[in-house]
Structure 1
């Protein structure tokens, strides 16, 4: 990356970084989409079981991944300020930290998974599929977190195409593994929805191996001697990374967990048909959300690079470009969702009752996605400034003190039923977007005064 002056050059640099991230995010989500599509073809219980399992896993994954996202911000600012010699140690310490976090997650799952599923009072079939889906997936947690560090190391330098190549190469493996483990092809056992967990875990190992290979293959990355030049684990460095990463991780956790909590509440309050319809609508709208999420990640890189180089006006220009661009793209996507909502649902299931209910969920999703695009972009800008603590508080308040309670009350005590939960999501995301916008004005003003 290099600092540029004109708006045209900034647009070019931003798009150069953005499009590989977007392809990467869509490819990553395609793996989850394949899990859902193939599981749905086995049966409604398998679709619901994978939905519950995914809903328990995704907040954990996104939260930990958010902690490791600190690597992107740290590397981008080190490069922007010309301190490349500090990068190797920072990445190595993050690898140690990722291992520690992975072991913590696995050990916690041993003690907590069964009680959580029992508490939800699911049907025996759905409970069984959810439990064993997560057991299979747990085999890939360690490589996933290590690969996340390397991905953030690549992205922080603007090498987003490397991550894209790795992920795109992994997708076919994921499809074939799902085809094998779910339906019993290639001599593998037919595990139904459970097989999606084992297929995903195997794919995570493939992604890690590709990522390690690239650190030795690309000359610019090889220069840092990752996996060659080792340093002792340093709690001081971990503390610095956690001070940035934990608020990011918690903010992402609070956002992603509202969708998971809604899924869990669906399982406790409504029928298997409702769970399946909710999962269908959530799965496809999340695919579209990969666009503003990618914009958010690109914003963290270019804003962090600009702030590290003391170019605050450039950071502001990147922020406006990304945030308004994300909202505009989702507005166009809303039209597509409205007119093709039932056709989209039929991609997942042939159950007419599930399709009709999923179409109704998608209509509500059209509204919340605009707020989601705004809050995602604004958070990306704030992370570029290393401003993470106030956004964390804003996220917690918006999602957990406003969104979830409102959604539950609407679902439990009004005629809206399950749709009330989605209205609560919309309210929480809207409040978060407003809070992040106000915070960004303060942070930008403060940064200008420090010049």
Structure 2
């Protein structure tokens, strides 16, 4: 553990603890958010839940699009090349802005079509339409949040993103109280209020993160840097980022397909999955923080030529991550019934939810292995391998098996969860074996390079 915890800005401990705190508070605030929405109705929670499946897919897409630049920033800073790190950061920001605007326009003009494709039940669709229209039209703010957060974290500054995320979520809760329930003289807007609250809080957070991004290097980023094209840096970002974006895009699509499967199962399954999406995040929040820190640290060590340390630290981080996610999952299993009672009084939803939380004891370690080892490979430029294995497994196993078990064999959500388990472990084992295979090439080098391994 000593090598993971020291005074280095890029130590796993110093990178991970702010992310852990950020995610813990986001979980608690997200729980309060869901409880507040549940005061409208269970249908409102289901509507927000299924829309959030769509937004979670967008979140992954925006994260992956900016991910290549984030990794390159960490590698360049590790190599002591701040100039090229700045170029990567500014190019990534500009590109994400364009993608964000495009997505906002698509959602704004195609809300009904999107919900129809997701097979949202008729009793939920009107509420979902209100929420998706408002929040989806503000997808540009999601894009800005992800690219700014990604780059800032990869400079080693995870504390700033933590503080902004905490502030954003607290403001969101206040706005919810004001707009949902009509407090302080405002009209009672219900589901529309939830959407307005989400967009306003994200807008404020995006502006703050942009200001921090401008000052994340030794001198302030200038407007000219955001519009200046650099062919060399674009190629380097593309080599890492295109496979990341394709993998992220595939994940987004497959999650929407699975959400459509769940939508056909009925309101009970849809509401249960919506509540579990919030509750299960507690099980993996520490694991997610470690996996994110692993990618930042590994990219920095790789860029600085300290490859032996990078190789061994990933395995240590994986062990600690599995322990943490299992402890969190066991806590959820023990307290699951009481936690779900905060959200709903429907005994059928609670019973199914508690059962699926038990399934998470098996699911979460596989998820931890997949994300940690995949992030490590991404950090050294092995994004193409991660993309190929992910795309094949997500379509054949996650989607294919979910359809066979959940729909054809009528196993419902249990079938979907079994497919998730098989998918996570298959991908986790494949990326872990790839990382182990590359041990011989992870020798320290005197001159840092940033174009990845050839495993």
Q: Given the superposition, is the C-alpha separation of residues 436 and 72 from structure 1 closer, same or farther in structure 2, using an over 3 Å criterion?
A: same
1:255-334 superposed matches below 5 A? 255=251, 258-268=254-264, 270-334=265-329
Q: Given the superposition, is the C-alpha separation of residues 76 and 224 from structure 1 closer, same or farther in structure 2, using an over 3 Å criterion?
A: same
Cα drift, residue 388 of structure 1: 0.4
Q: Given the alignment, which residue of 408, 411, 425 partners 2:420?
A: 425
- Residue number in structure 2 paired with 1:3: none
Q: Given the alignment, which residue of 413, 416, 435 partners 2:430?
A: 435
Q: Given the superposition, is the C-alpha separation of residues 231 and 339 from structure 1 closer, same or farther in structure 2, using an over 3 Å criterion?
A: closer
Q: Given the alignment, which residue of 241, 244, 247 partners 2:243?
A: 247
Q: Given the superposition, is the C-alpha separation of residues 233 and 197 from structure 1 closer, same or farther in structure 2, using an over 3 Å criterion?
A: farther
- Residue number in structure 2 paired with 1:400: 395
Q: Structure 1 residues 184-193 or 324-333, which shifts more?
A: 184-193
Cα drift, residue 48 of structure 1: 1.0
Q: Is the 8 A contact 1:67 1:247 kept in 2?
A: no
* Counterpart Cα distance in 2 of 1:165 and 1:368: 30
Q: Is the 8 A contact 1:295 1:377 kept in 2?
A: yes
* Counterpart Cα distance in 2 of 1:257 and 1:231: 30
Cα drift, residue 177 of structure 1: 1.1
Cα drift, residue 433 of structure 1: 0.5
Cα drift, residue 23 of structure 1: 2.1
Q: Given the superposition, is the C-alpha separation of residues 334 and 231 from structure 1 closer, same or farther in structure 2, using an over 3 Å criterion?
A: closer
- Residue number in structure 1 paired with 2:449: none
- Residue number in structure 1 paired with 2:453: none
Cα drift, residue 429 of structure 1: 0.8
The yes-or-no answer on 1:353 pairing with 2:351 is no
Cα drift, residue 422 of structure 1: 1.2
Aligned residues: 441
- Residue number in structure 1 paired with 2:165: 167
- Residue number in structure 2 paired with 1:87: 85
Q: Is the 8 A contact 1:76 1:304 kept in 2?
A: yes
- Residue number in structure 1 paired with 2:132: 134
Q: Structure 1, residues 192-234: CA drift from partner, whole Å, max 9, x if none?
A: 3343222111111111222234346x6xx36332245535342
Q: Which runs of 5+ in 2 are unaligned?
A: 447-455
Cα drift, residue 32 of structure 1: 4.5
Task: Extract structure 1 runs of 4+ deviating beyond 6 A.
Answer: none
Cα drift, residue 405 of structure 1: 1.0
- Residue number in structure 1 paired with 2:208: 210
CA RMSD of aligned residues (A): 2.3
Q: Is the 8 A contact 1:371 1:429 kept in 2?
A: yes
Q: Structure 1, residues 143-202: CA drift from partner, whole Å, max 9, x if none?
A: 332232222222112111111111122221011112222222233333333432221111
Q: Is the 8 A contact 2:93 2:226 kept in 1?
A: no
Q: Is the 8 A contact 1:349 1:355 kept in 2?
A: yes
Q: Is the 8 A contact 1:300 1:381 kept in 2?
A: yes
* Counterpart Cα distance in 2 of 1:449 and 1:231: 34
Q: Structure 1, residues 45-65: CA drift from partner, whole Å, max 9, x if none?
A: 101111111111211221121
Q: Given the superposition, is the C-alpha separation of residues 309 and 239 from structure 1 closer, same or farther in structure 2, using an over 3 Å criterion?
A: closer
Q: Given the alignment, which residue of 212, 219, 224 partners 2:219?
A: 224
Q: Which runs of 5+ in 1 are unaligned?
A: 1-6
Q: Is the 8 A contact 2:87 2:230 kept in 1?
A: no
Q: Given the superposition, is the C-alpha separation of residues 38 and 299 from structure 1 closer, same or farther in structure 2, using an over 3 Å criterion?
A: same
Q: Structure 1, residues 101-133: CA drift from partner, whole Å, max 9, x if none?
A: 102212322454322322444343411111221
* Counterpart Cα distance in 1 of 2:327 and 2:29: 25
With normalisation by structure 1, the TM-score equals 0.90
- Residue number in structure 2 paired with 1:8: 2
- Residue number in structure 2 paired with 1:74: 72
- Secondary structure of the structure 1 residue equivalent to 2:184: coil
* Counterpart Cα distance in 1 of 2:417 and 2:325: 18
